[in-house]
């Protein structure tokens, strides 16, 4: 009996120790936020310069069977107003896109992952997202960046984000 109890206790302890998202990623539309890297690898700021802006990103998957244009979709970060709408970019059915904070040329890489760039000159995803739930909502085109739920297709929540670590939503 004692060993059974110990085993149960060990399982419970493991459940608490392993970071598991509160719920699996979901969407009410074609686009779903699946992962996020809120804290870019390395120092965010060096010598007063924002660095590795593109090391901060979130990942969106087209879960539909049709190509979807990202244009106008609003990433609403709950703690701020960096809600610039996504650029025009055709994401094929089933494809995945990394939405980077900094600048670059939107493209598909050799591994088939797509990349689009928001063009910000500073980091915008909070490294400590423990104060809000969710921390990021992807809203349909025409939605407001008002930190509210209206228009939400998919969302992601994280707590304190480790340096350079990617989290499942
Ligand atoms: Ca960040
Ligand atoms: Ca916002």
Ligand nearest to the CA of 80: 2
User: 31 has which bridge partners?
Assistant: 62
16 within some domain:
no
Q: How far is the CA of 63 from the centre of ligand 1 (A)?
A: 26
Q: Which ligand is nearest to the CA of 76?
A: 2
Is there a domain that residue 111 lies in? yes
Handedness of CA 13, 14, 19, 21 (dihedral sign): negative
Give residues whose Cβ lies within 5 Å of ion ligand 2: 76-77, 83, 145, 147
How far, in Å, from the CA of 82 to the mean position of ligand 2?
6
Q: Whole domain around residue 41: which residue ranges?
A: 22-168
Count structural domains, the chain. 1
State in Å: Cα 142 to ligand 2 middle.
Answer: 14
Lowest mean pLDDT of 22-26, 82-86, 141-145, 154-158, name the range: 22-26
pLDDT, residue 46, reads 96
Taking only the tens place, the pLDDT of each residue in 81-92 is 999 999 999 999
Three-state DSSP string of the chain: CHHHHHHHHHHHHHHHHCCCCCCCCCCCCCEEEEEEECCCCCCCEECCEECCHHHCEEEEEECCCCCEECCCCEEEECCCCCCCCCCCCEECCCCEEEEECCCCCCEECCCCCEEEECCCCCCCCCCECCCCCCCEEEECCCCCCCCCCCCEEEEECCCECCCCCCEEC
Nearest CA to 146 out of 88, 41, 75 is that of: 75
Residue 1 placed within a domain: no
- What CATH number is attached to the domain comprising 74? 2.60.40
Would you state the pLDDT for residue 2? 53
In this structure, which ligand is nearest to the CA of 79?
2
Tell me the per-residue pLDDT of 74-128, one tens digit each, with 9 for 90 and over.
999 999 999 999 999 999 999 999 999 999 999 999 999 999 999 999 999 999 9
pTM above 0.85, yes or no: yes
Mean pLDDT of 127-131: 96
């Amino acid at each position: 009996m004692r060993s059974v109890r110990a085993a149960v206790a060990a399982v419970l302890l493991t459940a608490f120790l392993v970071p598991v998202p509160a719920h699996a990623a979901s969407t009410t539309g074609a686009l779903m936020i699946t992962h996020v890297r809120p804290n870019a690898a390395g120092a965010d700021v060096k010598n007063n310069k924002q660095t590795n802006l593109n090391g901060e990103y979130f990942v969106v998957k087209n879960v539909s069977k049709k190509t979807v244009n990202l244009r106008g979709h609003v990433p609403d970060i709950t703690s701020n107003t960096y809600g610039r709408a996504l650029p025009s970019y055709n994401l094929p059915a089933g494809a995945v896109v990394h939405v980077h904070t900094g600048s670059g040329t939107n493209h598909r890489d050799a591994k088939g992952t797509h990349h689009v760039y928001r063009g910000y000159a500073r980091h915008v995803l909070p490294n400590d997202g423990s104060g809000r739930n969710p921390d990021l909502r992807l809203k349909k085109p025409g939605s407001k960046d008002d930190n509210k739920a209206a228009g939400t297709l998919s969302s992601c929540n994280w707590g304190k984000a480790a340096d350079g670590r990617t989290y499942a939503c």
